[in-house]
Amino acid sequence: MKRYGKEIAIGFLTVLFVFLLYIGVPAIPLVSAALMAAAVAFLAKSRGGIAVGSVGKKPASRAPSYLSFDDIGGQDHPKRELMEALEFMVKREEIQKLGIRPLKGILLTGPPGTGKTLLAKAAAHHTNSAFVSASGSEFVEMYVGVGAGRIRDLFKEARSKAVKQKRNSAIVFIDEIDGIGGKRDGGQQREYDQTLNQLLTEMDGIQGDESIRILLIGATNRKELLDPALLRPGRFDRHIQVDMPDKTGREHILRLHGRNKPLDPEVSLAKVAEETFGFSGAQLESVMNEAAIYAMRDTSDHVDQTHLTQAIDKVMMGERMDRETTKEERERVANHELGHAIMAEHVRPGSVAQVSLTPRGQALGYVRHHPRQDSYLYTKETLEHQIMIALGGCVAEELIYGGRSTGSRGDFEQATNIVKTMIESGMSGLGIIHPQALTQEEWSRENNAILNELIERTREILGANKEKFEQLLDILLQEETLSGDQLRACLSHSMPRSEAS
């Protein structure tokens, strides 16, 4: 009987409808009302139980109770600074005795993937606060006033959630806050201005003596776009920079993400941390996840060092591609990569770990370098060496084929970016000068002068080793990989090193 309940109900309603028509009762309005009620109930159910009155609102999310500052690696300084700023929510009586005004807002700035959202969630757990979150893009629509209303609802939701959860504080987190907090230019973007004005009003309305203490945490990777009225003290009182993790931080992050993975006892996460210079926390998490996927593909019970090496390559350059290339293309790519590798060995002896012809992402080949120490300051000589390594590929093609290919496009972009850094740092012939004081013609002239000089130096070095290309090319084409030791053994008797100094 229960199995056919839906069919019985449909049949009963049909008979009832015919009967009402037969006795002269206007049944059509009743049926229409029933259908409308059924449609509303279906929509409410499909939206996860959102009430009809809250259509258009985003359900606020709450921080998982298990996420604490100990679960976030690589950001020791931001964590300490944030915990110090949160003391006013934890030690109410002490700050009242000292007459300290509670903070109203904390702004987290830094590159994508560095853990700004995780820090906000951990802050809610640390202070035992209710947590509601939203993205800046959710507040701006084509209809004026909609965003401002949602701002009001967000703060109202934070207070009601704190009362419901029997907590005396709440944290409102707005990710990508530059979406609503951009600089006002006096134009016709009234919806943006009204949304920002409402946010400023809500922050001004936060009082330290409220029973429910509210803290706004914003996150952005474009702080320079924010309106000055939002950044002033009394609104965002603290600005905390969340940067890329250093070597120690990267190892900590890798260990956190490796806790649930069966790592081989021989795995060295310290070595992985060395090889992932410049990686964000999100990229490191992806490395550990991709390594586990490679282990599954190999039907291995453990994640070993090889899987981690493959994962680093994938995160840096993309998945291995099964591209069919002609013999001529493979030879050109091989010579191009050998040009990079020979130049790297000349200016930084012992730096090349491997030369590969394995296509990954958009690259048809690549050179893997040995780990280097984290560096945050660069000399003119170091920058020139990086440019020469980048130009080694195109110069090798010129020496062997008499011309360049489109494969050097990325190398040129890298080289010109380094030249820009040199000019802005006062390392060019222009001396110390403000970049905006230069015309486009002056930029181009100085850029060409630096690149042409370094191309000539690169051409001299590779020309002195031109006879070695054919010998190395045979090994690379046959085995698809060339180890750094093989490269150095072939070059050891021919490479002039006096010019590198």
365-405 residue pLDDT tens: 888 776 666 666 789 999 999 999 999 999 999 999 988 88
Q: What count of other Cβ atoms lies within 10 Å of the Cβ of residue 392?
A: 28
Q: In degrees to the nearest 10, what's the CA dihedral of 370, 484, 287, 421?
A: 50
**Cβ pair 375, 385 in contact under 8 A:** no
Helix (H, G, I), strand (E, B) or coil at 482: strand
Smallest CA-to-CA distance from 104 within 93, 119, 88, 116 is with 88
The fold for domain 69-241 equals Rossmann fold (3.40.50)
Domain parsing of the chain, residue ranges: 2-54, 69-241, 247-317, 327-500
End-to-end CA distance of the chain: 91
What average pLDDT does the segment 252-265 reach?
92
Q: Supply the pLDDT for residue 48.
A: 40
**Cβ pair 309, 269 in contact under 8 A:** no
Per-residue pLDDT reduced to its tens digit, 127-182: 888 999 888 777 765 455 577 788 888 889 999 999 998 888 899 999 988 888 88
The fold for domain 247-317 equals Helicase, Ruva Protein; domain 3 (1.10.8)
**Cβ pair 236, 230 in contact under 8 A:** yes
Q: Which residues are catalytic?
A: 337
Beta bridge partners of 130: 170
Identify the CATH homologous superfamily for domain 327-500: Peptidase M41 (1.20.58.760)
What average pLDDT does the segment 36-48 reach?
54
Rounded to an integer, what distance in angstroms lies between the CA atom of residue 307 and that of residue 292?
A: 7
pLDDT at 55 over 60: no
Rounded to an integer, what distance in angstroms lies between the CA atom of residue 404 and that of residue 343?
A: 17
Helix (H, G, I), strand (E, B) or coil at 8: helix
For 236-274, b/e burial (b = at least 16 CB within 10 A) is bbbebebbbbebebbbbbbebbbeeeebbeebebeebbb
pLDDT at 356 over 90: no
Instruction: Please give the residue that has the higher pLDDT: either 21 or 465.
Output: 465
Amino acid 129 reads S
Instruction: Please give the residue that has the higher pLDDT: either 258 or 357.
Output: 258
